[in-house]
Structure formats: structure tokens, C-alpha cells
Amino acid sequence: MPPRFKRAAAYGAYAGELRDLIHLFKYQQVRSAGKTLARFLSEAVAALDLPEKVTVIPVPLWKGKRQARGFNQAEEIARAFMSFHVGPASIQLDTASLIRRRDTASQTGLTRRQRQANVRGAFAVVHKEKIQGLSILMVDDVMTTGTTAAECARALLRAGAKEVFVATVARATKELGNDLGQWTERLAAAVSPGGN
């Protein structure tokens, strides 16, 4: 099935120096890298042609993982993005309406079907009145197959959101394999300074 989100964009491929920078930020807690990643995210967002009014919602972490890591990387990137973003006339950050209601296994190494089963029902909207009729911009650090973003979008749309866009810093392109054609309509080309 096609993803529930309207359109997605990433700054670049999850490889090389970009992957290294994300790992420094996410796993080695080099928090200053978050601002650079947020600048990259803003370039991806520029490719989405967002409506004038949009609410930014970072993909939530399970509370145990957040405590162990000390922060939610998607939320940190979203907060930094908000501090210098130039775009829609009205943009706000919401870190409370969407929650992860259960822990999920790492998506690394799972097939598309396993990923879908892993995150099915993992997200819920707790403040439905805050997202009714809104255009939502989901933010995360990396998109692989898009199953996490699709499940978040499903929860938001069921709760009354008008539409969901997705922006990530990086996109794991090797995971697409033969499914690339299915994503062409919904996934914007990765945005990079050189247009690659």
C-alpha cells in the first residue's frame, strides 16, 4: 500500500559524511551537530512546497530509549530547525500530541513486512483537538523504508489531521531496491547542494 503521508523529502543519502554526522549526534551525543543537521533539514523542507500554515511534529521515541540516550534526536533537530527556518507564514512545533505508546525493536535488518508489523499501533495521538484539520510536517533524522513515518501519519490522519508531509535529514536509498518505482510519486528526490 502507498504511504499515508502526502510527500516526503530528504537532504541526502544516508551514507558517507552525512551518515557519520548523524551517528556523532545520535550515538555519541555531539549535540552541536544538531544545528548542522537542522540546516540540512531546512533544505529538504524547501522541496516540499508546504502550505502557509504547518505544525512540526518530531517522530517520538519510546520513553525508555529517550532516557537511555538522554534526548530524542528527531525532537532536537526539529527544535533547531524552528530557530532559523524561513518558510510558511505560520509554523509551530508540537512535541506532545503524538506519542510512542510501546517500545519497538530496532528496524535495522528487518524486511519491509517485518518493519510494518514492528511499528503497527506503536504511535497514538493524545491531544486530538490540537491537530484537527492541520497540515503536519513530520521530522526525523533518517528514513529507510518509510514504515515509521507512514505509521505516524496513519495515527495523525485518523485523529483528524488534514495532511502529513515528511522531512528527514537522510534517506537510506539502498533499502529501496525494486520498490523504487512505487515511491517515485510520493517521495521527493533527495535535496543536496549539488543537486545530486
pLDDT digits (tens, 9 = 90+) for 158-189: 999 999 999 999 998 865 443 433 333 333 33
72, pLDDT greater than 90 = yes
- Report the percent of the chain where pLDDT is more than 90: 53
Cα 87 to its chain centre, rounded Å, is 18
pLDDT (tens digit, 9 = 90+) per residue, 50-60? 998 999 999 99
Q: Is the pLDDT of residue 14 over 80?
A: yes
d(CA 14, CA 147): 16
Beta strand 98-100 with 123-125 is: antiparallel
Which letter does DSSP use for residue 60 in this model?
P
Minimal CA–CA distance to 168: which of 196, 195, 144, 194? Answer: 144
Mean pLDDT of 51-77: 90
109: exposed, middle or buried (Cβ count in 10 Å: 0-12, 13-18, 19+): exposed
- The residue ranking higher by pLDDT, 66 or 174, is 66
Q: What is the mean pLDDT of the chain?
A: 82
CA distance readout (Å), 35 to 112, 117, 158, 187:
31, 33, 32, 24
Helix (H) or strand (E) holding 69: helix 63-69
- The model's pLDDT over 101-151, given as tens digits with 9 standing for 90+, comes to 877 766 666 676 777 776 787 899 998 999 999 999 999 999 988 888 999
pLDDT at 188: 37
- pTM, full prediction: 0.81
- All structural domains of the chain, each given as residue ranges with its CATH number in brackets, are 7-183 (3.40.50)
Residue 195 predicted with pLDDT over 60: no
- Mean pLDDT value across residues 44-55: 91
